[in-house]
Amino acid sequence: MRVIADFHTHTIASGHAFNTVEELVQAARKRGIKYLAITDHGPKMPGGPHEYYFYNMKVLPERMHGVRLLKGIEANIISSKGELDLDEYQLRILDLVIASSHEIVTPENLGIVKNTKMLLKVLENKYVDVLGHLENPKFPVNIPQVVGAAKEASKIVEINNASFTVARKGSYEACVAIMKEIKQNKMLTMINSDAHIGQMLGEISTAWKVAEEVGIKREQVINFSKELTEKFIANKKNKF
């Protein structure tokens, strides 16, 4: 199963990925991916880009080699109050904002109650479009409460293929629980690669297999559909 869009990818600017924008675009073209979001980690990630990097994403063309390019960020949640590591002006000018918890950057050992409150505050940020890898076992949350709040706030909870393969060991049960809530709430979602190298771009097969088993329909997955992908992009542009 192939997606036509990958909304969560990283370049060498993230500090721990292995390809340039040009190389990712070429990989996307070869894999039939029509829409590619560059979502490098925010500036608080060790080895990550300076905040000017995101401001200067305006120099990237809208299309490269026939691939629609989205300029985005995987912003780090940096406090228990749900604060992110890029200011609102810079978030506003980006095509896509994913907010995620990461070790070293996000406060650890807060417990489920405080982590849940942290995510609820993130969901109040009007510039956030997607919650990234909510299943991270380092940051347990009340999944029904957070997914329900995401629906109420018209935010997307992604399904992250890397959580089944190369990252966030021990997150399988939480991944399944999130999928069940997405199904129960009849929400749209997106299945992303979280690729840190071109060979992983658009690779979502493991996550999709589990999602199908849970009962998520193809029609719920934004990046299987050109219509849903275009609508998602247009909604962001029309929001501000």
Name, in order, each residue with C-beta under 8 angstroms of 139's C-beta and a sequence gap of 6 or more.
Answer: 101, 106, 108, 110, 115
pLDDT at 143 > cutoff 90 = yes
pLDDT at 50 > cutoff 90 = yes
pLDDT at 79 > cutoff 80 = yes
Please state the rounded mean pLDDT for residues 168-195: 98
Could you give the angle at the alpha carbon of 35 between the alpha carbons of 6 and 87, nearest 5°?
75
Please state the rounded mean pLDDT for residues 122-132: 98
Q: Measure the CA–CA gap between 11 and 13, rounded to whole angstroms.
A: 5
Q: What is the DSSP letter of 21?
A: H
pLDDT at residue 158, as a whole number = 98
pLDDT at 202 > cutoff 80 = yes
The pLDDT tens digits for 204-228 are 999 999 999 999 999 999 999 999 9
Q: Measure the CA–CA gap between 190 and 130, rounded to whole angstroms.
A: 9
Higher pLDDT, 2 or 136: 136
Tell me the C-alpha to C-alpha distance, in Å, between residue 86 and each of 7, 50, 90, 200. Answer: 19, 10, 7, 27
Residue with tokens 């060790």: 46
Q: Measure the CA–CA gap between 234 and 232, rounded to whole angstroms.
A: 6
| pLDDT band, very low/low/confident/very high, at 109 (cuts 50, 70, 90) | very high
Look over the chain and give the mean of its residue pLDDT values, rounded to a whole number: 97
Q: Percent of the chain beyond pLDDT 70? A: 99
Q: Measure the CA–CA gap between 79 and 152, rounded to whole angstroms.
A: 23
pLDDT at residue 237, as a whole number = 75
pLDDT at 240 > cutoff 90 = no
Flag whether the pTM goes above 0.85.
Answer: yes
pLDDT at 2 > cutoff 90 = no
Domain ranges of the chain: 5-239
pLDDT at residue 238, as a whole number = 76
- Note the CATH number of domain 5-239: 3.20.20.140
Do 109 and 132 touch, CB atoms closer than 8 A? no
Q: Percent of the chain beyond pLDDT 90? A: 96
pLDDT at residue 208, as a whole number = 98
Q: Measure the CA–CA gap between 178 and 207, rounded to whole angstroms.
A: 12
